[in-house]
Chain A
């Protein structure tokens, strides 16, 4: 049992005196406070709620509401985070309701969805919140019974004393709110977990499957208008003149005007990435009418900077791959020397295009700005950053801006960049009415914060004894090199060189599910397969030898991975997939990658059907420490695999004179049902280590496992994404 200091900021503990009675609701609104979120809808509502702390309140009938602090973008933290609180509170999960908390930087620490960090970074905080509440309830019961608290035990929301008497949490909740917050609490032993580790269904299943309003686009308020924006058709352009005479006179249109969302003098934050700050806005009574008026706008655009085309930046990136960097990002040993002496050199260049995020729910946000302040509500991964920028742009103090989070129709990094929320606020202030800003799919896809286009050249030096002795990696990308200098196989190879180049562009880029890893895993793990073949070794044996070297006699000072855990997932996937038994007609590929603090290895089987490859099965072995919700975890991994395979195979954004060539799903292909693997099976390493996240780590290895299986099937090494375009002759799933 772990005893832990609570370290509570007193202000963060919302306490309601028993006399004050019912629930004190601060900042909870429409979407969050209405219906209970239970699966069955059968929980009886209490007459009174007692706020125990920022994470939970308890009803007088024992029903518990747990607030989920972080944005829910499909990574299922709205189920997993409350599970952790409920575990330490020691309640029956069936008695728990879950509500999305709005932004509150006093109560909560890190309300951000990004980097697969929600569970990892909040693990302790959530446990302490539950354990502290449990302790306060026990103390309230101890006072009532006049017995020492050490004689009490709890189980499923019921406190029991030494003589066998019991009190439900609901019966002591009113007293518990006035108990002194304990300075330290005991956390459960993992062996005593009843909720953590148990497959638990998504708390919003019922609402989603019956079509209840949950998402940003579903917001409706009294007097609310719909706003849409027109942005320049090309990166590097701005509006020069606007003829809105036709649009203004169309049915339902209230106003047409131009806004600047981030005026000069406001220092942008990292989350303010956006290429189009001058926008033409149409406001009207419904979405369809506004769409029609938007089409009737006559806007003249002017170029203010270079209009880039795919051909141009592709060549510039290729040129960079031929250029030595001024300073290596990492160098071990003497790479030039071993390459000179090498008996064999393996070399391959990998490339990948820009990608759009394409969350199924296009960007949107609700805003209402009055003399009293601004209310924002919608899908956002970075509510705190949105509040900061909005306050600055509107000239309001932070405390006058509230940000609420709806359920979000996907994130994948796109909603880290909240310009659409700022735009909504600026528009709402201008029209002096509540508005919902709605992007069309075209608006969404043609002004992304795209995954940058990347290239990387890998070279391996093999000596006369057929040993891998040196590796050189040179990366280039738009705005950033994709290469992580200190990731595997750094640390496993004596002579190692990493060089990075980047290329400036006015095409906006940002984090896209597993940034950089989503490309590097495919390049690195395809290349290691090729090197394994060149040295005549089994691909898994070869990787395990390198990992053994990194564990026992690491090269260099800094290697950003745990070689033993890395090897662990490879061994697990080898065992589960029956890697060592070859099957006729089945072509296998393996891949392993570590990113966002979790380790994932995959084996992918391809069979040829009518001379077309079909992904028959993917085995996925994972080390993310303790698995909070195995059902949600598996879902994330399956989705990551499908998403990874799909983008590797099919998707790309290209540009001509700054203008995106793709603007909707007829010309931007996403993977579809019939192209997904027939079966995916996931396995977890059990080691009791504190949990890490899974929103991203499942995705990166998938493309490489596919590339390696397709090599086994066809004898062709695929290195240019999307595979379906560059190697169409052989790939149609």
Chain B
């Protein structure tokens, strides 16, 4: 057990836990932010995607001891009122089916658009390839990313 000071969604949290505990479980079980999802535990499905210093990372494979004083943003902190352009686009396009993977999809899309405001079709697919959707909403995800690029 050790103590970690994490910066999540602009708030500070002190977490007492095993240094190897992945950020995912610190978020979900210790801090109580369950918007970040558990899908595979091995960084293959993208359901657990959060931002660390603006980069999309897989929180299931990131030990809390490696977070340091990095700024973590989860789906709960992406916007104040759920009105980030990506969230708005996801609503407009009515993307989800079961919805379980979508917070990870949204976090990947938001990180992409932050770095590349006008991605090509290939760039969108490539950036979103790490996020699995068993329901098969990929066509709508691409459309929503494109829409988000036009919203500000």
Chain A residues with a Cβ under 8 A of chain B = 39, 73-76, 199, 201-202, 204-206, 208-215, 217-218, 220, 226, 251, 286-289, 292, 358-362, 407-412, 438, 440-441, 631-632, 635-636, 638-643, 646, 664-666, 670-674, 676-680
Contacts and interface: CB of A to CB of B under 8 A. Distances in A.
B98 interface: yes
Contact of A670 (B75, B78, B134): B134
B129 A674 contact: yes
B82 A286 contact: no
A441 B136 contact: no
B66 interface: no
B42 A74 contact: no
A211 B36 contact: yes
Given A202-B96, A214-B99, A220-B34, A287 B28 contact: yes
Given A74-B98, A671-B136, 10 more contacts: A201-B91, A209-B103, A211-B103, A410-B98, A410-B100, A642-B138, A665-B132, A666-B42, A674-B128, A680-B139
Given A206-B82, A638-B140, A440 B41 contact: yes
A640 B136 contact: yes
Q: Is the interface of A mostly helix, strand, loop or mixed?
A: loop
A360 B132 contact: yes
Contacts of B106: 209
A665 B45 contact: yes
B113 interface: no
Consensus secondary structure, chain B interface: loop
Interface of B: 1, 17-18, 20-22, 25, 28-30, 32-42, 44-45, 47, 74-76, 78, 82, 87, 90-91, 94, 96-103, 106, 121-122, 124-126, 128-129, 131-142
A363 to B, nearest CB: 12
Contacts of B125: 673-674
Contacts of B133: 360, 673
B75 A360 contact: no
A412 B134 contact: yes
B137 A635 contact: yes
Given A670-B134, A673-B125, A639 B97 contact: yes
Task: Give the one of A215, A409, A666, A677 with max B CB within 10 A.
Answer: A409
Given A205-B94, A673-B142, A664 B100 contact: no
Contacts of B22: 288
A288 B21 CA distance: 6
A664 B34 contact: no
B100 A639 contact: no
Given A288-B25, A673-B125, A673-B131, A638 B98 contact: no
A211 B128 CA distance: 19
Nearest to B104: A360
A441 B41 contact: yes
B16 to A, nearest CB: 11
Nearest to A200: B94
A217 B37 contact: yes
A209 B87 contact: yes
A252 B91 CA distance: 40
A359 B134 CA distance: 7
Give the most central of A210, A635, A674, A679: most B CB within 10 Å: A210
A168 to B, nearest CB: 29
The 7 closest A-B pairs by CB, nearest first: A211-B35, A74-B98, A409-B100, A642-B136, A211-B75, A639-B136, A665-B44
Contacts of A204: 96, 99
Given A288-B18, A360-B134, A410-B135, A210 B75 contact: yes
B132 A641 contact: no
24 contacts: A75-B97, A209-B96, A209-B102, A209-B103, A210-B76, A211-B33, A211-B34, A213-B34, A213-B35, A217-B34, A218-B34, A251-B18, A286-B30, A288-B25, A360-B100, A362-B39, A409-B101, A635-B94, A643-B134, A665-B40, A665-B45, A671-B136, A673-B124, A674-B128
B37 A288 contact: no
Identify which of B122, B128, B134 gathers the most chain A CB atoms within 10 Å of its CB: B134
Contacts of A39: 91
A76 B97 contact: yes
A640 B98 CA distance: 13
| Residue picked from A204, A209, A358, most chain B C-beta under 10 Å | A209
A288 B138 CA distance: 31
Nearest to A216: B100
A39 B87 CA distance: 13
A673 B104 CA distance: 14
A665 B91 CA distance: 28
Contacts of B35: 210-213
B98 A211 contact: no
A356 to B, nearest CB: 10
Nearest to A205: B91
B91 A362 contact: no
B34 A208 contact: no
Give the interface centre of A212, A361, A407 by most chain B CB atoms within 10 Å: A361
A646 B136 contact: yes
Nearest to B87: A209
Nearest to A408: B98
Contacts of B39: 360-362, 441, 665
A673 B136 contact: no
A212 B103 CA distance: 10
Interface centre among B47, B124, B138 (most CB of A within 10 A): B138
B85 to A, nearest CB: 12
B135 A631 contact: no
Contact of A208 (B47, B99, B122, B134): B99
B136 to A, nearest CB: 3
A641 B136 contact: yes
Nearest to B141: A673
Nearest to B42: A664
Contacts of B75: 209-211
A75 B35 CA distance: 21
Centre residue among A201, A408, A639, A673 by max chain B CB count within 10 A: A673
Nearest to A668: B44
Nearest to A292: B18
A289 B18 contact: yes
A438 B91 CA distance: 30
A361 B37 contact: yes
A706 to B, nearest CB: 14
B65 to A, nearest CB: 13
| Residue from B35, B37, B90, B99 with most neighbouring chain A CB atoms (10 Å) | B99
A673 B134 contact: no
A631 B141 CA distance: 15
Specify which of B22, B40, B106 lies most central, judged by the most chain A CB atoms within 10 Å of its CB: B40
A581 B141 CA distance: 31
Contacts of B32: 220
Contact of A251 (B1, B96, B131): B1
Contacts of B20: 288
Nearest to A410: B98
Contact of A288 (B29, B45, B131): B29
A208 B44 contact: no
